[in-house]
Amino acid sequence: MPWAAIGLHLVALVLYPGLVLILAVGILAEGAASVAVDTAGLRAAPFAPVRRLRDGAARAWPPLLGGALLAALAATQLAVPANPLSPLERNLLVAAVAIATAMWLGLGWAWSPPGARAALVVQACWLVALLSPAVVSETLRPQVLGAVTVPAQLPLKALSGLLYLFCLPAILQLVDEPVPATGVAAVRVLLWLPLCGLGVSLFLPPASDDAVGSLRFIASTIGVALIAIALGVALTKTDLRSIYLRLASVLAGGVLVVAAFTAAVTSAVA
Amino acid sequence: MALATLLLPAAVLAVSAALSWGADAVGLAVGRYIVAAAAWLSLAVLAAVWLAGGRGLVEFTPGITTAVAPLRLRMDAVVVLFQVAVLVPAALLLTFQSRSSREAAIAGLAAAAALLCLEGGSLLWTAIGLGVCMSLVLIDLHREEQRGSVPFWGVQTIAWLLLVWTAVLLEAAGGTSVFGAIPVTALRLPAFAVLAAAAVLCAGVLPVRTWVSEAWTRRRLEAGTLAIALLVPIGFYLLVRAYGMGAGQWPASQANLVVAAIGSTAAVGAAVRAQAATTRRGFLAEAVPLGSGVALLAVGLGTPLGLVAALMGVLSVSIVAGLAPLVPSDRGPVALLAIAVPAGAPPTVVFGSLLLSVQAALEAGVVQAFLGLAVVAAWLLGLAAAARAVRLRDASADTGLNGSRVGSLVTAVVAVAAGVGLTLVVALLAIPAAAEVMPPTPVQGQGAGGVSPSAILGAGSLGVSTASGGWSSALLAGPIVLLALVAVAAAPLLRWHAARTSVAEAPLAPAIVELEPPPAPLFTPPLAPVPARAAGWLKAFRLPAQYRSLFRPALMEAAVARSKPWLWVAVTVVLTIAVTR
Amino acid sequence: MISAQSPIWRRAPPPQLWLAVGGVAATAAVLSASDLSYGLPLRDLVRVPGPGRIILIASAGAVLLTTGLAPHRISRWQLLGAGLGAVGAMAVLVAITDPLAVALLLILVGFGWATRRGGRPLAIRVRGPAFAALLLGVGWAFHGTTAPEWLGRAAALSLALSLVAAAGLFPYLQQVDPDEPAGYSYLAWTGFFAPALALTLPYRLLPALTPDQATVFGATLVGLGLLNLGWGVVGAWRTDTETEAWRCSFLADWGLVMVGTGLFQADGLAAAYLALLAIVLVRLPLYLWARPALLQREFPAVRGPVSVLVAVLLAGAAPFSGFPVRLLLLQAATRTGWPLAVLLLAGMVLWIAHSLRLARTVGSPRGRGALGLWLTVVISLILGMFSGTIRAAAGL
Amino acid sequence: MIATLAVAGAALAWVGAATLLLSDDRRGLAVGLAVVGMGLALSTAAAGQDRLVAAALALGGVGSGALHLGRGTHGWGLMRPGATPRVIGSLVAVILTVVVAGAGVHDLAGVARLGGLVVAALAAGRVLTVTGRWVALGAGSALALGLGALGTGPALVVAAAVAVALGLIDLAGPAEAAA
């Protein structure tokens, strides 16, 4: 029985880049979001996410538990330096499905038809952004995709990164006018790291496999989270929100076309 | 020994059916339990004889010619996998669904026929087995409820006749339809097209709503869901065998692409219908089509990994077929878990098979990769539909059929356990079966080189690791399940703490808020009204009055039979002129 | 009052007894015809081909089965006498090698059968056999004509049509009166006499035809076979009355028989042979079991396993008698050309549309009727499961 | 001389068949059958058939005719009102037969076959159109004689036997009202 391997994977799930890091980044980002979007006071900001998690646990612990485990599973797939999981074991699709499942757990918990429709559209666009580079590169390993520097694939990578970033505010429920329902909010606390970290893993070159690299990765992840928050604020404050989903869909369509073209060119050259 | 290996699993079920019938005759209501026990015993016997027999090919040819073909039975890794795929859901349904002794007897016989169908040593014998199985399932369906059984019969008869014709085409081209002896060149594109049509009709994997979903519109689910459990795997079996006939490949790469495209569109169609379901039963009705669509995409890829993914897909579809009818109508944790499994939530076996299928599609080529992308979209939509389905009213609640909490828990646990032990299932069942039909001898084109475990399984076989990605099923899914169990055990403490720290707050609302009316669909299926409109148009279609008499056989018969037979003379004269000109 | 139990077996009236004895004697004589040919100065006048021998035995079995167990309105002795007498007549038709003599005997049998009291007038009932005899006689008389060539082709056509007319198939359909006793209706020809002719005449005729004539003969049978198949399956599905549906189902079976015969292939001939056996041993008895419901016009819903089993059986699913017929026919048709196979497949698919309708009329009889029905199902199963052996017994 | 006899026999057979076609009562039927039998016997004998066999055919016709005298309504019943189409039919039949099948006539046997064909065609026409029991039986006998004349040796004997056997049916009396 490979106890060592099991132990390492348990560490990855619980500590790094698992639940502990997820909560740390989540509480930080959620606090920032509550200041920027929900206009909560700076003092109350750090406690808002904790309260949301506690309420969530009290109201319906099974979905929150499921969400936490799925978020941890998604986090283990990130190209974070010093990840106990070997690069060969990581899979972008595992992370994507785990995140999507966690999000739908939250949405199912406090269901609102408009919110669900918007979430579906934006998740579809987000998936396009995630998988288009993978389809062209024929790999689902995050670190490999992050390291892609083939000139023919760079436009697609850039466009996908842009789409990914554009989708984040809606996926994180930062665009909605009212504060998201408890279920969604509680799960959102858990998804900051997996969502933003996945973007960093896929669209930025992999960091060195040491402490500095880890800090750089976490900083980049928080940076992406702050950009998402800023974008969310911008969308909330302006009229862009009314056409936001349409814009995302058009951009996703464009990414798909570019992906098809790039794939055709790549295979023709090969 | 060979005969025992081949016939024991089916014999156990047949004997139990006879016992159940006898119990019914003497008024003992124990038939259901006898057949259920026999189904599990049959599964155990299958495993025992397979392992005891060294997991090699076993053929039985007694030299008897019955039904115009020499009797020939065969058991190999493919047969075993598909027999498991038939027996697991059959055993679950026979155990946890309520049946009268007579219904249980017919169901047991149908399951035995399905096993024998899979053991047919030639395509002709498979067709004969399918005919018998189909007939028994029809008897079961019709006995339970007449509505809907005739369309089912129609579709299955078309599939059966097409299969018979395929056997005929193979015998015409290669002189035999015996699996082990069909010349590689015998399976040409026309014959394969007929076979594929038979397979997709039998398995009900089409972009439109098929008999598989329709079976869920019946008042009682017992017969319909058993039909799904027995016949859907047989449809896939035909496509997998086709690889064996062509030494690891289908007659043309276009055929692979078309089948894969049908699979992905079928998956998308099922997901679209699932998210628009008005009842929980409507959602569950699309669970098998969704999984079948993905499995069809994988089987159409024509690569070793694709085939392994397809075989895993068949196994996961069989678990879903056994689970979906047992989902309880409430909104408790068991129901949540049971609804999450068919949607492909990690870390179940359904998730593992979907993951393998998408990876296989990604590695198969550009077009296949985009088809894989469509399947991921269907997967996402399925997850959304599952989240919505939790809040849907369960139609079966009206009829007093509330599934089985124990049954769905057991099945969900099996699904999760198989997900954790994914590599074990892949190594023990899927890879040997794929290697059986995709021989390692290098052949040109797809499938070259055959199936290699090292290309699919990671180090120590603790995870799946292919060229495009990996999944540590044992090392990640195991600890996740462990953590979940720990958390579930600690839940009361957590709840107590939460309650203590939020005393100042208003009393908490119930865990899940009742929503009336049920949630609206995420979007209206684009082509939903088309079939109904077409059916309405066909119903309303009338010939112009002046032409109707031409198409009324009764009038023409009256003219021919009742009048003085001048028409006879006239027809004779006309025919004479026709042949003498 | 019609039921499987009544009327009770009465004392055998002498005429029926003599008819039965005569029939049995004739059949026994014909079954040992080869010995007779040597024993008596018959030369080649009398010879029984293998399939003819089997169909005779099957017909006798069908008579015993239906007389003993099927529900009837008239005395079973009358039925037994008439049935065995018919088997005797059939035996003579099967044994005579000269087609012209067969045509003449066809007239005698036709008129003899039509003289039975009850049902439609004699003049109406003899039309089919008389027309068949005319076509057979004329066709045989002119088949040897080589100049002009068209006359030979017309003769071959006439020979093929004689078979169609004798069986009362499209276009030579006969009126079927729902209230007419089964033994008097034309289905007695379609389901009893004609199968014997269909199994012997081609073997007598084909060796004498030129290739050109054989082509016309075969093409006519295939063409009319497809027509009857289509007419039968659609008619049995769409027609208003259940009696008509049964008649059309016979046409559909005969469609398969004619296509099988017309293809001139071993598999096709075997399919025709098995289909004819199924007509005599399965469809005709089932029709007799359906008679009470047809007369009372009361059709219970198909619920019990037996009724669905009968529907499946009638639809030709494996492993019943219809399956080997379909398989062999598809084999022969595929070798000839796939479009023909596609047409046959379409007919076979449409077949199921009327099977449940017919099964509904059979219902779920009790007592003696149930025994007979189960026997019929078992016979169909044997025909399906051991078709290879049955085929070999006929030397096909 | 032989050829003349063959043609005359065929013509006589046609006359007999026409009489059968045009008559509704027993005398007409009986005479028609007898004439058919004799005519066909004459033509087949002239065509070279065994004399005894040809005589059997004549005997069959006469015997069958005699038996038909025993039933049905009295009289000749010739040319009843509405018989015109049958008159035309009998003429058209002979013309058509000669035109169609005449092409195949190369010898006296062909002539005899032509006679048999005319009789068979007219008798079959009668069987297909008549509704009366006895008339149908008479037409059946004629049909048997006509078909028999198309063959050789044994067929002629069988035809005669069949014609007589049909004459024996219902001698006891009418079993159903003539429709």
* C195-230 tens-digit pLDDT: 999 999 999 999 999 999 999 999 999 999 999 999
C residues 207..226 contacting B (CB < 8 A): 216, 220
Lowest-pLDDT range, B3-17, B91-105, B551-565, C372-386?
A: B551-565
Average pLDDT value over all residues in chain D:
88
Q: Which amino acid is at B396?
A: S
Q: Is D155's CB within 8 Å of C147's CB?
A: no
Tell me: pLDDT of B63 over 90: no
Burial class (CB in 10 A: 0-12, 13-18, 19+), D85: exposed
A residues 159..218 contacting B (CB < 8 A): none
Nearest to C263 by CA among C163, C330, C200: C330
Q: Is A135's CB within 8 Å of B380's CB?
A: no
Q: Which of B132, B139, B553 minimises the CB distance to C319?
A: B132
In whole angstroms, give the CA distance from residue A203 to residue B309.
29
Tracing tokens 């009465």 back to the chain, one arrives at C10
D residues 127..166 contacting B (CB < 8 A): 128-129
Q: Which of A57, A88, A135 minimises the CB distance to B370?
A: A135
Q: What pLDDT shows up at residue D172? A: 59
Residues of chain D positioned with their CB less than 8 A from the CB of B568? 128
Q: What pLDDT shows up at residue B553? A: 67
Q: Is B488's CB within 8 Å of A65's CB?
A: yes
Q: How far is CA C246 from CA B135, C198, C305, in A?
A: 22, 20, 21
Q: What pLDDT shows up at residue B506? A: 43
Tracing tokens 């302006």 back to the chain, one arrives at A238
With CA atoms as reference, the chain A residue closest to B512 would be: A109
Q: What pLDDT shows up at residue D74? A: 78
Q: Is A5's CB within 8 Å of B475's CB?
A: yes
With CA atoms as reference, the chain D residue closest to B568 would be: D128
Q: Which of A61, A85, A100 minimises the CB distance to B491?
A: A61
Residue C279 and residue C254 in contact, taking contact as beta carbons nearer than 8 Å: yes
Q: Which of C239, C335, C385 minimises the CB distance to B553?
A: C239
In whole angstroms, give the CA distance from residue B432 to residue B126.
21
Q: What percent of chain B has pLDDT over 90?
A: 70
Helix (H, G, I), strand (E, B) or coil at B344: coil
Tell me: pLDDT of B443 over 90: no
Q: ipTM score here?
A: 0.90
The secondary structure of residue D78, as a DSSP letter, is B
pTM: 0.92
Q: Which of D100, D132, D155 minimises the CB distance to C98?
A: D155
Q: Helices in B302-404 by DSSP H: which ranges? A: 304-323, 333-340, 349-364, 366-389, 395-398
Residues of chain C positioned with their CB less than 8 A from the CB of D167? none
DSSP C347-390: HHHHHHHHHHHHHHHH----THHHHHHHHHHHHHHHHHHTHHHH
Contacting chains of C (3 CB pairs or more, <8 Å) are B, D
Residue B469 and residue A92 in contact, taking contact as beta carbons nearer than 8 Å: yes
Tell me: pLDDT of D158 over 90: yes
Q: What's the mean pLDDT in C364-385?
A: 92
C residues 127..146 contacting B (CB < 8 A): 127, 131, 135
Contacting chains of B (3 CB pairs or more, <8 Å) are A, C, D
Q: Is C127's CB within 8 Å of D137's CB?
A: no
Q: What angle do CA B224, B117, B292 make, to 5 degrees?
A: 50
Mutate to test the interface with D, among C40, C46, C105, C134 (most CBs of D within 10 A): C134
Q: What pLDDT shows up at residue A161? A: 97
Lowest-pLDDT range, B168-177, C345-354, C364-373, D143-152?
A: C364-373
Q: How far is CA D80 from CA B253, D90, D93, in A?
A: 80, 15, 20
User: What number of other Cβ atoms are within 10 A of residue A2's Cβ?
Assistant: 13
Q: Which of D127, D131, D154 minimises the CB distance to C121?
A: D131
C92 interfaces chain D, CB cutoff of 8 Å: no
At how many degrees (to 10) do helices D84-101 and D2-22 cross? 150
Mutate to test the interface with C, among D122, D130, D134, D176 (most CBs of C within 10 A): D176
Average pLDDT value over all residues in chain C:
88
Q: Which amino acid is at C79?
A: L
Q: What pLDDT shows up at residue C38? A: 54
Q: Which of D124, D133, D155 minimises the CB distance to C122?
A: D133
Residue B402 binned pLDDT confidence (cut-offs 50, 70, 90): low
DSSP C149-177: HHHHHHHHHHHHHHHHHHHT-TTS-----
Q: What percent of chain C has pLDDT over 70?
A: 90
Q: Is pLDDT larger for residue C147 or for residue D168?
A: D168
With CA atoms as reference, the chain C residue closest to D168 would be: C112
Lowest-pLDDT range, A140-149, B533-542, C326-335?
A: B533-542
Tell me: pLDDT of B296 over 80: yes
Ranges of chain A with pLDDT below 70 = 1, 38-40, 177-182, 270
Q: What pLDDT shows up at residue B99? A: 93
Q: Is C334's CB within 8 Å of B67's CB?
A: no
Burial class (CB in 10 A: 0-12, 13-18, 19+), B520: middle
Q: Closest Cα of chain C to B113: distance in Å?
A: 12
Q: Is C239's CB within 8 Å of B571's CB?
A: no
Q: What pLDDT shows up at residue B441? A: 60
Nearest to A259 by CA among A92, A166, A129: A129
Q: Closest Cα of chain B to A213: distance in Å?
A: 23
Q: What's the mean pLDDT in C106-111?
A: 95
Q: What's the mean pLDDT in D22-34?
A: 91
Greatest mean pLDDT range, B145-149, C80-84, C97-101, C157-161: C157-161
Give tens-digit pLDDT for B237-288.
999 999 999 999 999 999 999 999 999 999 999 999 999 999 999 999 999 9
Contacts of B398 (CB under 8 A, 6+ apart): none
Q: What pLDDT shows up at residue B447? A: 44
Phi and psi torsions of B178, nearest 5°: -70, 125
Please state whether at least 3 CB pairs lie below 8 Å between chains D and A: no
Phi and psi torsions of B69, nearest 5°: -140, 140
Give tens-digit pLDDT for C30-88.
887 655 555 555 556 777 888 899 999 999 999 999 988 888 766 777 788 888 999 99
Q: Is pLDDT larger for residue C106 or for residue B581?
A: C106
Q: How many residues does chain D have?
A: 179
Residue B116 and residue B10 in contact, taking contact as beta carbons nearer than 8 Å: yes
Note the maximum CA span of chain B. Answer: 105
Residues of chain B positioned with their CB less than 8 A from the CB of A265? none
Tell me: pLDDT of D3 over 90: no
**Token digits of residue A234:** 């911008």
Q: Which of C108, C127, C134 minimises the CB distance to D120?
A: C134
Q: Which amino acid is at B459?
A: A
Tell me: pLDDT of C4 over 50: no
Residue C344 and residue C262 in contact, taking contact as beta carbons nearer than 8 Å: no
Residues of chain B positioned with their CB less than 8 A from the CB of C324? 67-68
Burial class (CB in 10 A: 0-12, 13-18, 19+), A226: middle
Nearest to A93 by CA among C258, B356, B85, C351: B356
Contacts of C174 (CB under 8 A, 6+ apart): B561, C127, C128, C168, C186, C189
In whole angstroms, give the CA distance from residue B413 to residue C175.
67
Give the CA-trace dihedral at B44, B47, B49, B55, to 10 degrees.
180
Q: What percent of chain C has pLDDT over 90?
A: 61
Helix (H, G, I), strand (E, B) or coil at B464: strand
Tell me: pLDDT of C7 over 90: no
Q: Which of B463, B499, B522 minimises the CB distance to A116?
A: B522
In whole angstroms, give the CA distance from residue C5 to residue C11.
16
Tell me: pLDDT of C104 over 80: yes
Q: What's the mean pLDDT in C5-29?
A: 72
Q: What pLDDT shows up at residue C13? A: 62
Tell me: pLDDT of D70 over 90: no
A residues 96..115 contacting B (CB < 8 A): 96-98, 100-101, 104-105, 107-111, 113
Residues of chain C positioned with their CB less than 8 A from the CB of D106? 147
DSSP B228-239: HHHHHHHHHHHH
Average pLDDT value over all residues in chain B:
89
The number of helices, as runs of H, and strands, as runs of E, in chain D is 7, 0
Q: Is pLDDT larger for residue D53 or for residue A241?
A: D53
Rg of chain C over Cα atoms, rounded to whole angstroms, equals 20
With CA atoms as reference, the chain D residue closest to C142 would be: D104
Tracing tokens 């598999």 back to the chain, one arrives at C267
Tell me: pLDDT of B127 over 50: yes
In whole angstroms, give the CA distance from residue B463 to residue A208.
26
A152 interfaces chain B, CB cutoff of 8 Å: no
Residue B562 binned pLDDT confidence (cut-offs 50, 70, 90): low
With CA atoms as reference, the chain D residue closest to C123 would be: D131
Residue B445 binned pLDDT confidence (cut-offs 50, 70, 90): very low
Q: Closest Cα of chain A to B24: distance in Å?
A: 44
Burial class (CB in 10 A: 0-12, 13-18, 19+), B290: buried
Domain extents in chain D: 2-77+85-172
In whole angstroms, give the CA distance from residue A152 to residue A150.
5
Q: Which of D130, D148, D169 minimises the CB distance to C111?
A: D169
Please state whether at least 3 CB pairs lie below 8 Å between chains C and D: yes
Tell me: pLDDT of C321 over 80: yes
Q: What pLDDT shows up at residue C225? A: 97
Q: What pLDDT shows up at residue A178? A: 61
The secondary structure of residue C132, as a DSSP letter, is H
Q: How far is CA D58 from CA A204, B15, D63, D105, D164, in A?
A: 114, 73, 8, 23, 11
> CA quadruple A255, A256, A261, A262: dihedral positive or negative?
positive
Residues of chain B positioned with their CB less than 8 A from the CB of C231? 553
Contacting chains of D (3 CB pairs or more, <8 Å) are B, C
Q: What pLDDT shows up at residue A226? A: 96
Residue C6 binned pLDDT confidence (cut-offs 50, 70, 90): very low
Q: What's the mean pLDDT in B154-174?
A: 96
B562 interfaces chain D, CB cutoff of 8 Å: no
Q: What pLDDT shows up at residue B234? A: 98
Helix (H, G, I), strand (E, B) or coil at C327: helix
Mutate to test the interface with D, among C93, C104, C159 (most CBs of D within 10 A): C104
Mutate to test the interface with D, among B560, B563, B564 (most CBs of D within 10 A): B564
Q: Helices in B145-221 by DSSP H: which ranges? A: 149-174, 189-203, 211-214
Compute the half-sphere exposure of residue B393: CA atoms within 13 Å on the CB side of its CA. Answer: 11
Tell me: pLDDT of C111 over 80: yes
What region, left, alpha or beta, does residue B303 occupy, with left being phi > 0 and alpha being psi -120 to 50 degrees? beta
Q: Is A140's CB within 8 Å of B383's CB?
A: no
B565 interfaces chain D, CB cutoff of 8 Å: yes
Q: How many beta-carbon pairs below 8 A join chains A and B?
A: 186
Q: What's the mean pLDDT in B159-176?
A: 96
Q: What pLDDT shows up at residue C374? A: 94
Lowest-pLDDT range, B496-500, D104-108, D127-131?
A: B496-500
